[in-house]
Amino acid sequence: MSSDSGKLAGRRIVVTGGASGIGAAVVRMAAREGAKVACLDLNLKEAEALTASLSGQGFAVASNVADPASIRAAMDTAATGMGGIDGLVNSAGVVAIEPAAGMEIAIWQRLIDVNLTGTFLACQAAIPHLVQVGQGASIVNLSSAQALAPVAGAAAYAASKGGVQSLSKALAVELAPAIRVNAVCPGLIDTPMNKGLAKDGDSGPPVPLDRYALGRWGKPEEVAACILFLLANDASYLTGTSIAVDGGRTFH
């Protein structure tokens, strides 16, 4: 999708985890494509700083996707502020790479609570608003290449993101034809979350670059471009899909 094409003109998009990483790229690009954007994030200060640069096309809402009351209130606020919701992007997530044998149950539970349950709760809160649109509403959930080809230590993360893929397929069946639901599986993307996985001063990637056919980190904007395609009418016959935006990792 070319920048500033206006393919999302008139659309009203909610992005969870929208203050940084892939979510922030979606917020910026969706606004440039003509959409109104509600940036939902725990870090309200960063969300407000981002949306302040969107020439009045975006606003920030504090939310915790793992808390049913918080995400429901945030979604209702977003719908009121934009006059409805046409699209939802579930980008909020956390990551941990820990060996399964010694993993504390709190780590497992946090990843499931935020990545999987949080995605479900956001979808659940958005559905009453999305169904009012009729056909044309769209949900895009962020899964991961780790759900397709996990590395050692990714048991909790892979399980949570694999659940997102299955959830997306189930919702695609349940919500059709009014709402399309798809998942995107990013590979090694240059985000603060992924950079934070480096330990003991090691600046290398958590997955060796030789596992990627393209041999490099991906950019948040490269994932966001796929997400925007799935939100737009160009993808009107796509639902229940999972698209790997991973530089060739899952086949290489």
| Predicted confidence (pLDDT) per residue in 151-201, tens digit | 899 999 999 999 999 999 999 999 999 999 999 999 999 988 877 665 544
Evaluate the CA torsion angle 206, 207, 209, 213 in order and state its sign: negative
Evaluate the CA torsion angle 136, 224, 49, 164 in order and state its sign: positive
What pLDDT, on the 0 to 100 scale, is given for residue 205? 60
With a pLDDT cut of 90, the percent of the chain lying above it is 83
Predicted confidence band at 2 (pLDDT cuts at 50, 70, 90)?
A: very low
Strand partners, 125: none
Structural domain boundaries of the chain?
Answer: 12-245
Q: In whole angstroms, what is the distance from residue 126 CA to residue 131 CA?
A: 9
Q: In whole angstroms, what is the distance from residue 245 CA to residue 252 CA?
A: 13
Q: In whole angstroms, what is the distance from residue 82 CA to residue 97 CA?
A: 38
What pLDDT, on the 0 to 100 scale, is given for residue 200? 44
Whether residue 84 is predicted with pLDDT greater than 80 in this model: the reply is: yes
Q: Which of 19-28, 43-52, 160-169, 194-203 has the lowest mean pLDDT?
A: 194-203
Active-site residues, by number, are: 157
Predicted confidence band at 128 (pLDDT cuts at 50, 70, 90)?
A: very high
Decide yes or no: CATH 3.40.50.720 for domain 12-245. yes
CB 41 within 8 A of CB 47: yes
Q: In whole angstroms, what is the distance from residue 165 CA to residue 116 CA?
A: 9
Amino acid at 64: N
Mean pLDDT of the chain: 93
Report how far apart, in Å, the C-alpha atoms of 125 and of each of 50, 118, 176 are. 24, 10, 17
Q: In whole angstroms, what is the distance from residue 242 CA to residue 236 CA?
A: 15
Alpha helix positions (H), 83-117 = 105-111
| Predicted confidence (pLDDT) per residue in 202-239, tens digit | 555 666 788 889 999 899 999 999 999 999 999 999 99
Whether residue 79 is predicted with pLDDT greater than 70 in this model: the reply is: yes
Q: Which of 62-76, 116-130, 141-155, 167-181 has the lowest mean pLDDT?
A: 141-155
With a pLDDT cut of 70, the percent of the chain lying above it is 93
CB 57 within 8 A of CB 36: yes
What pLDDT, on the 0 to 100 scale, is given for residue 99? 95
What pLDDT, on the 0 to 100 scale, is given for residue 1? 42
Mean local confidence (pLDDT), 9-35: 97
Alpha-carbon torsion, ordered 229, 10, 53, 179, to 10 deg: -50
Q: Which of 73-77, 146-150, 237-241 has the lowest mean pLDDT?
A: 146-150
Diameter of the chain measured on Cα atoms: 51
